[in-house]
Structure 1
Amino acid sequence: MADASVFIRMYGTFTCSDSETGDVFPLTGKTAAMVALLASAPNGRRTRSWLQDMLWPRSGWQHGRASLRQSLAGLKRTLGPKHVSILGANNQEIWLNLDLVSFVGSPHEGVLLEGLNPAGADGFEAWLKDQRRRIVAGLDSDIRSNFRTLPASPVPQPEAASEKVQRFTKLRPAIAILPFSHATSDQIDPVFGDMIAGDLSRMIARAHGIDVISHLSCRSTGFLNADLERLNTLYGVDYVATGFLRDARGQMTLDIEFTDSASGMIVNTKRFSRSSKDWLRGSADILQEIANYIVDSLFKGALRDIRTKNTEDVASHSLLMSAIALMHRQDLASVLRSHKFLESILDQRGPSSLAYAWLAQWYVLFLAQGWGTNIEDEKLAARDMVSRALESDPDCSFSQVMDGVVSYQLERDYEGASVTFEKVLAENENNAVAWYWKGIKYAFEGDGQQAIAYTDCGRRLTPLDPGGYLYKNLSATAHLSGRNFQSALDLANESLSLNRHHASAIRAKIIALNGLNRFDSARATAREMLQMYPKYTIENYLSAHPAAELEIGQEWAQALESSGIPRR
């Protein structure tokens, strides 16, 4: 590594100084914030559009771009000759050469970027508050790899501890699963409740858009002795899962409470009971059932907030969870409310990779239901959302998955989608959503064997969100491609038992019944579909379906038409 040209201090008052003379460069306001944003990027690079959204969200595109150019020019003048080696830019990106930057200071010296609050930079303000919260809570942060002096277990400072977490700028809800206690019993190992909580924490951490406080943090004395208010304000915890284990005559029960830490209200309670042997073996199905309960309770808590408060009074993370839940109800009124909430999030907290990615998912599901009225414009909107998502956070795996989904679902770019999914799975082989969508790409291409293999991997990992009906139907589609019509029918029925409005699952059921030569049942199901969606036609199907031009798509269209779905 080359010798550092500049020193940057990120904790306490932000400074950027000359490594040779020690002189501090006079950076203030948005120019200082821009340097901090570049320094905090894993590779020192940010896109121009992302920086504009962060620092000049109110200026409009042209004025924002001009302001960014002026700020960049001013920074070059301030750095003098050093800017040639330290700072780089092209039409899309601006970057710092991190090999020539040395980070000084530590969290013990003050709050991250203390006092840096440029006027009108709403996106930067939201980003900074989220970074501070994550550091205090001990969560991974994209800045940790750069700030080499940051300890593995950050110690909360008085300034950070006294600062109440701003619920209206935080998009990812944080859950703490405390080690489960046990009622008086000689039959239960006192370590057992801790092991279950640890397994659940790791399992739920795979869910997109949810922060799980590390199990080590939840075991600490300070965490266990903190009341709900301190957990909420000091550690940024939004929801807490607690529970008691009891053993009686070979049956072990776990009673769980899921609590909103801000209000102190219990959102949900449930008892889980299995044989002691099942618990001790760490049976995956019981852990999955508890994990589903905890995540489902999170969505119920968010929907409760929406029902009892005005939208502007609801925390951003509750808006996101509510939007996801409503999107997956698949009735038009709920889906339109979902879109409104996602837009409210962006208005409330500025650019967000997760919000943009879920908006892309929204357009995919909206068009799949046959609700599109300006289909080409809505496809372009989906691509725009994906582009914004990746600009906001190129490393967000959910945004990357949505990039692949939009590529082949809406743009029929199968090769590009395949590359995207393989990249995601190479980085994280536990990404259930990527396994499912890659499997569906194979299904549309007529490779039933690969489609079933990939969706089976997704089923084993089981995504934790309200889209269970969707994933059941994706598996059904894979089995249709493999001509396993009975399995496809069973899965389509399971999907419809979770969401009877899902048009794709009804189509899968019709095609499966047709493949089983149960033509009367196929026609009856087609009539039910037309009662629910009276304007649905084969032409609608072919105009929106990603496999329409492929052999399997034509085969499915023929099965639908022979079952009674009108051509036009």
Structure 2
Amino acid sequence: MRYFFEDYALDTDRRELYRATDLIVVPPQVFDLLDYLIRNRERVVSKDDLISAVWNGRSVSDAALTTRLNAVRGAIGDSGEKQRFIKTLPRKGFRFIGQVQEVRDVAAPNPDDAPQSAPAIPDRPSIAVLPFANMSGDPEQEYFADGMVDEITTALSRFKGLFVIARNSSFTFKGKAVDIKDAGRRLGVRYVLEGEVRKAQGKVRITGRLIEAATGTHIWADRFERDMTDIFALQDDVTLAVVSAIRPRLFQAELALASRRRPEDLTAYDLYLRAIQKIVPSTREGLAEGLRLAQRAMELDPGFAGAAALAGACHSENVVRNYAIDPQFERKEAVRLMRLALSLDDGDPDTLAGVALISALLVGDCESEIEMSDRAVKLNPNSYYAWHRRGWVYEIAGQPEEAIRSFERSMRMSPVDPQAFIALTGIACALIELRRFDEAIIAAKKALRLNPCYPGPYRCLVAAFAHLGRDAEAREAAARMLETDPDFTISAWIDRSQLSKTAKLMIEGFRKARLPE
């Protein structure tokens, strides 16, 4: 049996207590006390009841019992004063008063005994959003809980890389005690999202948990609380928060699975995941290895548009970062693979966004690139990837205000993203072209705090300080930039991409700071 209350989970089989995904280590007697209180939450339990159940009737002092009860309260963020979960009734005993959802786990089925109708689990990430439990005590709130699930299911289904079970199948579990392992097997998915909705006093609290179905492992859990003002805006707000949180967790879980597989068992999707992991740091060696893995993925699956776009992005990055030994060849390969990806799938928002950026950097057909990036975010308005690349497309097209809006939208969707320094650099570049130099400095410094080895923010600082006449700081930023990019020259930077065509004030700042021509 597993019990859920607020963002806590008590697993009686594993004898584990979790808050969200964090394991809370508690002594055995503390666990047993909490378990007993929750199991008997319909009544007041006396001291004698607790001693009989937990200590088997052995003599226990009041002080020892109080110490253990305080430890229980401490483990679940309660206190003797607040008594949110465990209420003390003087001269009577104790009662667990928190709202609890029970999930009963049955024995894991033997795969050999599984019915033939159980669908095979796809190679790519697959998820079912189960009906959220209405914990409000108000049957009329069922519509809100069901609507929440509909919104999240729809938002997830816009990610073409995800296999999402339709609502009609997921809702066959409504109102039932769900065994997650059995639900995953019956629906043919690797992950299950479950949760509860609780509404009271003009506020709504939604708790969600992402679980790996085969093992029952909690991958992610969180709680969202909002004012119950505009019901539809609330659903949109929470949907964005949930999807933005679980999509990166799904990716991390899939990456962990791919990394554990033997080389001879790797699928095209596994290779694609490994390629992404390699290219994220944008080092020369990482891009070379990422390109090799993306090419292997294309060999296994010639129709894999995402792998083609990723390979094109590797070539494009080599050109932009001045890694290319033969820039002309790499440009041609980037454009060829870009066109191949579009021919394979021009309706995938992430592919469209990636292709739009490659084209913006290397081709410079602003009208078509803006059309592609706009179509990408229309197809999936919850895609961090699409909004981030749309920011660079608009930056290159000479529309800095729209670029900033896109970067900010992407950062709102991934507020703790380790790659946020790239979006912050884009914002700093756009602010320079808007002559908002002081703000550009703030954004660039934020980017450097996340990654002090990335040369882009230093270039922004050089230009912004130079325009403000802060020459000493411009020289210091230039020295740091040349440490990270020793081959930098203004002419080479201009030749690398189409960005230089609209970055007039950036280039002017470089020259004011007397960077090498």
Residues 43-98 of structure 1: per-residue CA shift (max 9 Å, x gap): xxxxxxxxxxxxxxxxxxxxxxxxxxxxxxxxxxxxxxxxxxxxxxxxxxxxxxxx
Distance 1:321 1:250 in 2: 43
Distance 2:436 2:177 in 1: 55
Matches within 5 A, 1:157-556: 161-162=117-118, 164-165=120-121, 167=123, 172-181=124-133, 189-207=141-159, 209-221=161-173, 235-244=187-196, 254-261=206-213, 263-264=214-215, 266=217, 268-274=219-225, 277=228, 282=234, 286-418=238-370, 420-421=372-373, 437=389, 440-449=392-401, 451-452=403-404, 468-548=420-500, 550=501, 552-556=502-506
Distance 2:198 2:409 in 1: 34
Would the aligned equivalents of 1:173 and 1:317 in 2 still touch at CA under 8 Å? no
Distance 1:436 1:269 in 2: 24
Distance 2:261 2:122 in 1: 17
Could you say if the C-alpha distance between residues 284 and 233 of structure 1 is closer, same or farther in structure 2, counting changes exceeding 3 Å? closer
Could you say if the C-alpha distance between residues 221 and 361 of structure 1 is closer, same or farther in structure 2, counting changes exceeding 3 Å? same
What secondary structure does 2:364 align onto? coil
Paired residues, number: 403
Distance 1:502 1:237 in 2: 39
**Mean Cα deviation higher: 455-464 or 369-378:** 455-464
Could you say if the C-alpha distance between residues 284 and 509 of structure 1 is closer, same or farther in structure 2, counting changes exceeding 3 Å? farther
Could you say if the C-alpha distance between residues 268 and 425 of structure 1 is closer, same or farther in structure 2, counting changes exceeding 3 Å? closer
What secondary structure does 1:257 align onto? strand
**Mean Cα deviation higher: 458-467 or 331-340:** 458-467
Distance 1:387 1:165 in 2: 31
Would the aligned equivalents of 1:360 and 1:383 in 2 still touch at CA under 8 Å? yes
Could you say if the C-alpha distance between residues 278 and 405 of structure 1 is closer, same or farther in structure 2, counting changes exceeding 3 Å? same
What secondary structure does 2:189 align onto? coil
Could you say if the C-alpha distance between residues 328 and 210 of structure 1 is closer, same or farther in structure 2, counting changes exceeding 3 Å? farther
Distance 1:224 1:375 in 2: 60
Distance 2:490 2:218 in 1: 44
Could you say if the C-alpha distance between residues 522 and 259 of structure 1 is closer, same or farther in structure 2, counting changes exceeding 3 Å? farther
Displacement of 1:225: 7.5
Residues 87-121 of structure 1: per-residue CA shift (max 9 Å, x gap): xxxxxxxxxxxxxxxxxxxxxxxxxxxxxxxxxxx
Letter in 2 for 1:339: L
Structure 2 partner of 1:138: none
Letter in 2 for 1:512: A
Letter in 2 for 1:412: G
Residues 111-132 of structure 1: per-residue CA shift (max 9 Å, x gap): xxxxxxxxxxxxxxxxxxxxxx
Residues 350-381 of structure 1: per-residue CA shift (max 9 Å, x gap): 32112112222333334333333322211111
**Mean Cα deviation higher: 179-188 or 369-378:** 179-188
Distance 2:157 2:463 in 1: 37
Identity over aligned pairs, percent: 20
Displacement of 1:409: 0.5
Residues 189-211 of structure 1: per-residue CA shift (max 9 Å, x gap): 44544333333333334446334
Structure 2 partner of 1:98: none
Would the aligned equivalents of 1:537 and 1:565 in 2 still touch at CA under 8 Å? yes
Letter in 2 for 1:164: A
Residues 125-146 of structure 1: per-residue CA shift (max 9 Å, x gap): xxxxxxxxxxxxxxxxxxxxxx
Displacement of 1:243: 2.9
Would the aligned equivalents of 1:258 and 1:267 in 2 still touch at CA under 8 Å? yes
Structure 1 partner of 2:54: none
Displacement of 1:432: 6.9
Distance 1:190 1:196 in 2: 10
Would the aligned equivalents of 2:136 and 2:199 in 1 still touch at CA under 8 Å? no
Q: Per chain length, whose mean CA-contact separation is higher, i.e. which structure has more relative contact order (CA < 8 Å, sep 6+)?
A: 1
When Rg is computed on C-alpha atoms for both structures, the one with the higher figure is 2
Displacement of 1:159: 11
Displacement of 1:521: 3.2
What secondary structure does 2:282 align onto? coil
Displacement of 1:301: 0.6
Distance 2:221 2:230 in 1: 17
Would the aligned equivalents of 2:243 and 2:382 in 1 still touch at CA under 8 Å? no
Distance 1:291 1:423 in 2: 20
Displacement of 1:443: 3.4
Would the aligned equivalents of 2:132 and 2:146 in 1 still touch at CA under 8 Å? yes
Could you say if the C-alpha distance between residues 214 and 333 of structure 1 is closer, same or farther in structure 2, counting changes exceeding 3 Å? farther
Would the aligned equivalents of 2:388 and 2:423 in 1 still touch at CA under 8 Å? yes
Residues 502-554 of structure 1: per-residue CA shift (max 9 Å, x gap): 44344334333434444433333333333333333334312213133x3x435
Would the aligned equivalents of 1:327 and 1:335 in 2 still touch at CA under 8 Å? yes
What secondary structure does 2:332 align onto? helix
What secondary structure does 1:272 align onto? strand
Would the aligned equivalents of 1:260 and 1:266 in 2 still touch at CA under 8 Å? yes
Would the aligned equivalents of 2:489 and 2:516 in 1 still touch at CA under 8 Å? yes
RMSD: 4.3
Would the aligned equivalents of 2:134 and 2:197 in 1 still touch at CA under 8 Å? yes
Letter in 2 for 1:370: N
Could you say if the C-alpha distance between residues 295 and 454 of structure 1 is closer, same or farther in structure 2, counting changes exceeding 3 Å? closer
Could you say if the C-alpha distance between residues 492 and 302 of structure 1 is closer, same or farther in structure 2, counting changes exceeding 3 Å? farther
Displacement of 1:388: 1.8
What secondary structure does 1:220 align onto? helix
Structure 2 partner of 1:49: none
